A = this chain, B = another copy of it.
Amino acid sequence: MSASHISPLAPKNIVDLPPIAGFDMGAIASGERYANRLDLWVLRGQSGTQAAGVFTKNSVPGVPIIWSKNALRLSAQGPCLLVVNAGRANVYTGEAGRKVARQTAEKAAQLFGGQAERVLLASTGIIGQCPDITPIKTGLTAISQIMQPHGWEEGAEAIRTTDTFAKRASVTTQIYGQEIRINGIAKGSGMIMPDMATMLSFIATDAAISQGALQDILKDITDISFNAITVDSDSSTSDSVILMASGAAGHKPIEDAHDAALDGFKAALTELMQDLAQQIVRDGEGATKFFEINIEEAKDNAQARVFARSVANSPLVKTAVAGEDANWGRFMMAIGKTGLPLDEANISLYFGPHLVARHGAVDGSYNEDIGAAYMKNQDLQVTIKLGQGKGKAKMWSCDLTHGYISINADYRS
C-alpha cells in the first residue's frame, strides 16, 4: 500500500479545528523512528485543567498505559500535560521501556511545568522495541519553543502511524448559556509495519467539569463510540482515550456527571466521539465498505452488545459485505454463535429498509435481487430484531478484503 493511498471511505469534508481556550500545543518531527514526519505531540492544559482517561483492557498493556493510569489517580496541580509519540509503542520493553517513560515525563514537566508523575503519556507503533529517549528529549525541547493555541491539525498528523487519513472533529454546545467547544483527534487501523493497530484519541474542551464527572462521562460515551467499533476483533495493548477540560469557558464548575446542565455537553461529546470512532472504521485496513449492525429487542442492552459484537466481528459476515453478497444466513449464524438464548421464530432481519427474514424463514416479500441491489451501497445498515425485550446496541464495522490480507500478511517475503 503506497503512502499516497487514502481509504475510499475517508470523509469528503475536512473540518478545521479552532483553538480551545486554556490549551496550547506543539508537534515536531523528532526522527525517533520515522524520517521527516511529525511524530511527537504535546498538548498542555492550563493550571486547573481536569483530565479523564479510558484505556485498553488488554492484560499486557504498554508502559504508557500503566504510567497514565497512575497519573490520573494523582490530584491536579499546575498544568495538565499530554505527550504522544508515534513510531514505537513502548510495549513489552521491560525496565528499559519504563525508564524511557519516566524520562519523557520528567523532561516534559521540566520544560512545560507541572509534576512528572502527572504527565499523560501515549505511544503507538512497533511493539517490543524501546523508543530512543534522545530524540524524544530533543524534540520536546524544540516543541517548547513553538507552543501555541493552534495546531490540532498537526497533532492529528503527528499521532498517525499508517492511517491513510488524519482523523479530527470539532463540535460546539452550551453549558449555562455559555458556548463550549470540544475538539478531538484520533488515530487507528492503518498498519503496514509489524505493529498493532492502536487506537488513540485525545479530546479537549473549555468546559469546567470536575475530574470525577469527566471520568464517568468519558467511560459511558466510550462504550457507545470507540468501544462500538471493530476492524478485526484484535485489541491493542495501547488503546487510550483522553479527555481534558480546561474550565476556561468560565461557567460555574460542574461536579456531578448527572447534572442536567451537562445534557447538551454529553450529546455534543457523543456526536464528536462517534464521529471519530466511525472515522477509524472508515480507515480500517483494506476497508471498502462501512456497515452498522443494529441489534434491537434483545433481553437487555448487555446481551444486545454481545450479539452486535459477534456479528460485527464475524469474518464470514465481513467477507460477505466485501463480496456484496446478500448472504443473510451468515448474520443469523453470527448471532447464534454467541450461544445466548434465541428463538428463531421471533427474529427478524433487515438489510437497510428491506425485511429479509422473519418467523424462522425468508420473508415472502424478499428476493435475491433486492438484497443484491442493497449490498452495492458503500454504507450499509443491518438490523436484527430478536423479539425478546427492549435491549439494543449498535456496532460499526468494515468489510474484510484482500487489502486487509495484503497489509497484514504481504509485507515480508
Q: Is A235 an interface residue (CB 8 A)?
A: yes
Mark contacts of A332-346 with chain B using CB atoms, 8 A cut-off: 1 yes-contact digit, 0 otherwise: 111111111110100
Beyond A57-B339, A58-B337, A92-B360: 4 further Cβ-contacts under 8 Å?
A: A128-B361, A194-B329, A233-B314, A234-B314
Q: List 11 A-B contacts (CB under 8 A).
A: A59-B342, A60-B344, A60-B347, A61-B336, A92-B360, A127-B329, A128-B328, A196-B329, A235-B337, A319-B405, A320-B409
Q: Decide if the interface of chain A is mainly helix, strand, loop or mixed.
A: loop
Closest to A408 in B: B319
Residue pair A408, B320 in contact (C-beta under 8 Å): yes
A338 to B237, CA, bound (A): 11
Q: Is A412 an interface residue (CB 8 A)?
A: yes
A362 neighbours in B (Cβ, 8 Å): 92, 128
Residues on A lying within 8 angstroms of B by beta carbon are: 57-61, 91-96, 126-128, 194-196, 232-237, 313-316, 319-320, 322-325, 327-330, 332-342, 344, 347, 357, 359-362, 372, 399-402, 404-406, 408-413
Residue pair B402, A60 in contact (C-beta under 8 Å): no
A91 to B60, CA, bound (A): 41
Residue pair B59, A329 in contact (C-beta under 8 Å): no
Query: Considering the complex of A and B, which 3 residue pairs feature the smallest CB-CB distances, nearest first?
Result: A319-B408, A94-B361, A60-B336
A402 neighbours in B (Cβ, 8 Å): 402, 405-406
Closest to A412 in B: B325
Closest to A344 in B: B60
Separation in Å of the A337 CB from the closest CB of chain B?
4
Residue pair B339, A58 in contact (C-beta under 8 Å): yes
A236 neighbours in B (Cβ, 8 Å): 333
Residue pair A237, B332 in contact (C-beta under 8 Å): yes
Separation in Å of the A288 CB from the closest CB of chain B?
10
Residue pair A323, B58 in contact (C-beta under 8 Å): no
Residue pair A234, B315 in contact (C-beta under 8 Å): yes
- Interchain CB contact (< 8 A) of A413 among B196, B322, B324: B324
A320 to B232, CA, bound (A): 14
Known: A322-B409, A357-B128, A409-B323. A232 touches B315 (CB 8 A): yes
A194 to B375, CA, bound (A): 14
Residue pair B409, A325 in contact (C-beta under 8 Å): yes
- Interchain CB contact (< 8 A) of A194 among B325, B337, B341: B325
A127 to B315, CA, bound (A): 17
Residue pair B319, A409 in contact (C-beta under 8 Å): yes
- Interchain CB contact (< 8 A) of A60 among B322, B332, B408: B332
A314 neighbours in B (Cβ, 8 Å): 233-234
Separation in Å of the A326 CB from the closest CB of chain B?
8
- Interchain CB contact (< 8 A) of A234 among B196, B337, B408: B337
